[in-house]
Structure 1
Amino acid sequence: MSILNFGSKAKAETVDPMVSSMIDGWSIEVMPRTAAKIEDFRAILPEGTRVYVAHIEGTPIEDMIGTAKRLHEEGFDVMPHLPARGISGKAELEDWLKRYQNEAGVKQALLLGGGYASPVGAFTSSIDMIETGLFDQMGFERLHIAGHPEGNKDIDRDGSSKLVDEALMWKQDFASRTDAHVAIATQFAFDAKSVTEWAERIQAMGVTIPIHVGVAGPTKLQTLIKFAIACGVGPSLKVLQKRAMDLSKLLVPYEPTEVIAGLAAYKAENPNSLIEQIHVFPLGGINPSAEWMNKNGSIRKLAKVA
C-alpha cells in the first residue's frame, strides 16, 4: 500500500485556512451508476471518507449492496440511503439491513422519507422505520436523518415548517435514547445565511443533533439551477439566479467556495453551533468534486494500491 498526498507550497498560499478547516472530514454522495465509472475510489478520496450511497427510485437493491460492498472493501465508511416510501415494510427493511451488514459490512445508514410519489408499502417516513426497533436490535452504530434548511415541499406543502419541526423533535428524542450516533445531513444549499439561521432556530427548539451541511461540488451553473428548482430550494435559488445575471460568471463552473467560507466564518464566531462538517453532492461529477475538496481542504492522505 503506497500513500499519495495532496498538498503543495502553492496550495498553502492560496487556500483560506478557515475554509480548509471547515472542509476537513467531508463526506460525499454517490449512486451505483456513477460509482461504477470510478476505477478506484482510493485514488481520489481521503482515507476513511464517509461515502453515502443514494438509493434512487428504481435502483435494484442488488446494485446498492454491490456498490456498498465495493466501497467497504476499498476501506471507506459506507452509508446507504434507506428510503422509507420505497420499502414495503418491516420484513423487507430487516432483509435489507441483514444483507447490508452480512454482504457489505455496513453499520450505518441515512434514513429518508424518499422522493416517491406514493409509498410502496406501510412506511411513509423515516420515523416509521425507526419505530420498528430494527436499527437498535441490529447494532447500527450511526444513523443520519435528513435536514431541510430551506423547507421540505414534500411534507409542509403550505410552506410552513410545522410538520418538519414536529418530526425533527421526535428524532431528537430518539437520538437522546439510542446508543447510535445521530447526525443531520442537509439538502444542498448555496446560501450560508439560510443554513446558519435554520441551525440557530432548531437549536433554540432544543435540538442538539450535529449538522452536516450539504453543498454542491463544482458544477455548471445551468445544472445547479435545474437541481435547485427540482428540490424547491428558496434563498439558494436566488443566489444562483443572481450569479447567472453576471456574465463574467455565467460560463465559469460554480464552486462552493463562498458558501463554505460563510459557514466557516459563522462556525468560528459560534463554536457551540450545531454545524459540524460538510457533505458534498457531486452534481457535476465525482472526480471534479473530489479534486476540489482535496485541493481546498487540509492535507489528507489518499490510499492507493500500488
Structure 2
Amino acid sequence: MDADVGVPARVMTDASLEMTAKDAGDVAAASAVLAPGTCVNITYLGSETTDSRVEAARAVRAAGLTPVPHLSARRLRNRDEFVRYLEVLKGADASRTVFVVGGDPATPEGPFGSAESLLRTDLLQEHGVRDVGIAGYPDGHPEIADAELWRTLHAKVDLLAELGLGASITTQFTFDEAPVLAWVERVREEGIEVPIRVGVPGPTGIRRLLGYARRFGIGANATIVKKYGFSLTNLLGAAGPGVFIDALEQGYDPARHGVVTLHFYSFGGLEATAQWLHDAR
C-alpha cells in the first residue's frame, strides 16, 4: 500500500514512538525528523540489560527527545532491583516520565505481579517520576478477562490521581479503528478523562507485522487486515498505518473521545518510523 496515504492532523499531534535498547544507534538520525521533545518509549525486554536500556534513555535525552522507560513489574526480581533501576534512570535524567506495565512473564520473577503493585510502592515519586503511562487493551487481552481489565484500569487511574502523578493510557496496536473508537468512548463514559495514545505499527514488512499481532493476541482476520490495507493472501511487501489513521481521524470526535493521539510501535525500525511520521505530517 502507499505509506503516504493522506493523514490528517488532529490525531497526529504530539505522537510518540517506541523503541528497544538495540535501536539506540538510530536515535540521532530519528531525532533529525522528529519534533523536539517527542516522547520515545524504551521497552523492558528480558533479552536486554539494564545498562543497555539506560544507555538508550541517555541517547534519547541527548537527541533532544523525551525518554519514557518501561517498568515491567513481573520482570523485576526484587524491590532492590526496582530501586536500583529507578536510581540509574534518575541519574540519566530519564525518570520524570515512565510507562508502567505488568509485563510478559506468566509467572512473576519477583514480588511484583502487576503494574498496580509497582505504583503502590511509592518509590516512583521518590525517584523523580511525575507522569506515568499505563496500558489499554481495546481488543482485550488473551490472558485477562475484560471485567478485570476495566477494574485495573480504574484502579490505576484512581491511584495515580491519589499520588498526584500525571496519567495517560497507551493502547496495544490494532488493525481496525471501529473497536478502538468504541473502547475510547467507553473509557470516557466510565469517567476516565486522561489522555489516550492509540497504538499503531510503524511501516514494516507484512509477515513481521502479523508475527507481532499473533504475539500480542491482536485479531488479524482477512476482513480486518484488508480494511487496514493489505491481504493475508499476499504477505510480501510492507504495510503502513495511513489507511488506519485516516479512518481513525474520520471517526474521531473530541467531544466524545477527549484527548486522543498516536503511539507508533517501530517494528520496522525507529528511523523508518520517524521518517514516516515526518512525511505524513
Compute the TM-score of the two structures, normalised by the length of structure 1. Answer: 0.83
Distance across 2 between alignment mates of 1:197 and 1:118? 32
Give how far 1:105 is off.
Answer: 3.8
Distance across 1 between alignment mates of 2:107 and 2:216? 17
Q: Which has the larger radius of gyration?
A: 1
Alignment map for 1:114-153 (pairs within 5 Å)? 114-153=103-142
How many pairs are equivalent?
276
Alignment map for 1:37-76 (pairs within 5 Å)? 37-76=26-65
Distance across 2 between alignment mates of 1:245 and 1:136? 47
Amino acid at match of 1:290: A
**Secondary structure class of the residue paired with 2:125:** helix
Compute the TM-score of the two structures, normalised by the length of structure 2. Answer: 0.90
Counterpart in the other structure of 1:191 = 176
Distance across 2 between alignment mates of 1:246 and 1:118? 37
Give how far 1:213 is off.
Answer: 0.5
Counterpart in the other structure of 2:275 = 291
Residue by residue over 1:175-233, the C-alpha shift from the partner in whole angstroms, topping out at 9 and shown as x without a partner, is 33232210001111121111011111222222222210000111122221111111111
**Secondary structure class of the residue paired with 2:204:** coil
**Secondary structure class of the residue paired with 2:175:** coil
User: Is contact 1:175–1:209 with CA below 8 Å preserved after alignment?
Assistant: no
What value does the CA root-mean-square deviation take over the aligned residues? 2.2
Give how far 1:116 is off.
Answer: 1.4
**Secondary structure class of the residue paired with 1:25:** coil
Give how far 1:103 is off.
Answer: 2.6
The question of 1:244 aligning with 2:228 is answered no
User: Is contact 2:95–2:128 with CA below 8 Å preserved after alignment?
Assistant: no
Give how far 1:235 is off.
Answer: 6.2
27-36 or 100-109: bigger deviation:
100-109
Identity of aligned residues (%): 26
**Secondary structure class of the residue paired with 1:55:** coil
Distance across 1 between alignment mates of 2:128 and 2:232? 51
Counterpart in the other structure of 2:78 = 89
Distance across 2 between alignment mates of 1:38 and 1:139? 24
Give how far 1:39 is off.
Answer: 5.0
Counterpart in the other structure of 1:8 = none
Distance across 1 between alignment mates of 2:53 and 2:67? 11
Amino acid at match of 2:196: I
Counterpart in the other structure of 2:265 = 281
